[in-house]
Amino acid sequence: MEEDDANLQSFLRWAAALGISDSSISDCSSSSCLGRTLSVSHFPDAGGRGLAAARGIRKGELILRVPKAALVTSDCLISNDQKLSAALERYPSLSSTQILSVALLNEVNKGRSSLWYHYLKQLPQSYDLLASFGQFEIEALQIDDAIWAAEKAVDKGKMEWEEAAPVMCELNLKPQLMTFYAWLWASATISSRTMHIPWDTAGCLCPVGDFFNYAPPEEGNSIEELLDANTDRLTDAGYDEGVASYCFYAKRNYGKADQVLLSYGTYTNLELLEHYGFLLQENPNDKAFISLEPEMYSLCSWPKESIYISEDGMPSFALLSTVRLWATPMSKRRSIKHIALSGHRISAENEAAVMEWIADKCQALLSSCSTTIDEDILMLLVIDKFQDYTGEAELSPALCDEIRAFLESNHVTCEGLSTKLHVSLKTRRSVYRWKLAVQWRHGYKRILSDCISYCTRMLDNPSC
């Protein structure tokens, strides 16, 4: 812990020397770039390391400024390294994110001689994005759409690594930086920590700015509430050409010691897992996507991503209108299509058929899973105490099978789950990703269950 604190203090001094500041007046000779408005703190139940308010902060106030010269971009890493520039010129087909990944690993390869050494040293050593999930963890998601997304992320990572391997060979990177694991680290760093800049689609790494933890955008705000009183900004962070800096603004009022949060955008929990490696226990933007019968898609022009059940269990507008039209006799569809597409009920009989179809669809999805919602809750309790687990709790066969599958996939042995487990750091990372998978599937099933309850209420009381 003392070493980590020393590394952090060295990093904050380095950042101050580059002009990064939480004050409108930067002091390059300061021992820290923080302390006037923000401070580094730890929030065990809300993202881990983050930034806290060092004083009361008003909504819309500038709270952090990171000069362009302090941003880690492909341009700055390439312009300072002729060997890297020459190697990349021979591989023009690499994407902007592949280029930044190669440049990042090349910078790590330099060790202490890198201009960005202090920044690189305090980056996480591992991430938990979907691309890092093993086969067991992928299967633990249980839902086909999520499994497909995870497998696609893994395949994409491997393909991009293989495409970038020749240029990394030319750079003579250390063997450990040539591995797929190292590539996953670099690409995950870029996926989870970069911020938008207008001149590079890969984005930029923003020292100190990437300390902010995530808060979902608040829905239902009026345009006046979204706009800051003194500016026309609609976001709480962005690159400002006028001051040649990445500027961060408070999205609301904060009291001293409150965690100051940043909204990266609107994401479902699966998207958060895919791009950032975490999820939210309460995510107002979460969704359970529903597949329709083949003939349903031809009835309306709604995109598939609009066919979902929202976090509170309510079917989306597009889902309701499509099923309402489908539940109408073919001979009447043309005459009532405008009613369905406007969001209105067609008839009591039609609405009952719609609720029954949606409830049956949700129940079919729940029944296809190997564990129930209650079993997932119990599994999460077991995972939290996994290293000390001795098989004392009574578990269903499905949960016992899942635990054994985890042990086998991680080559952990114990006699009948009756001895205390001793697991490696690698296995502990797998335990955490397993927990993320169970948390995700539990949240997804809860949405389906809430939707069944909603449909049941509508059937029992059609006038609601």
Q: Calculate what percentage of the chain has a pLDDT beyond 70.
A: 90
Q: Which of 271, 256, 307, 247 has its CA nearest to residue 71?
A: 247
Nearest to 271 by CA among 430, 150, 151, 439: 150
| Domain extents in the chain | 2-71+207-265, 74-205, 286-464
Tell me 228's DSSP state: -
CATH class of 2-71+207-265: mainly beta
Residue 425 DSSP SS3: helix
pLDDT the model gives residue 3:
65
Q: State both tokens at 335.
A: 């005459």
Q: Could you tell me the pLDDT band of residue 275, with boundaries at 50, 70 and 90? A: very high
- Residue 165 is predicted with a pLDDT of 97
372 or 422: which leads in pLDDT = 372
Three-class DSSP category at 123: coil
What are the two backbone dihedrals, phi and then psi, of residue 56, each rounded to the nearest 5 degrees?
A: -65, 135
Look at the domain 286-464 and name its fold: set domain protein methyltransferase, domain 2 (3.90.1420)
Is residue 335 over pLDDT 70?
Answer: yes
Residue 11 has pLDDT above 80, yes or no: yes
Average pLDDT over the chain reads 90
Output 179 or 236, whichever has higher pLDDT.
179
What's the pTM value of the predicted model, to 2 decimals?
0.91
Indicate the SS3 state at residue 51: strand
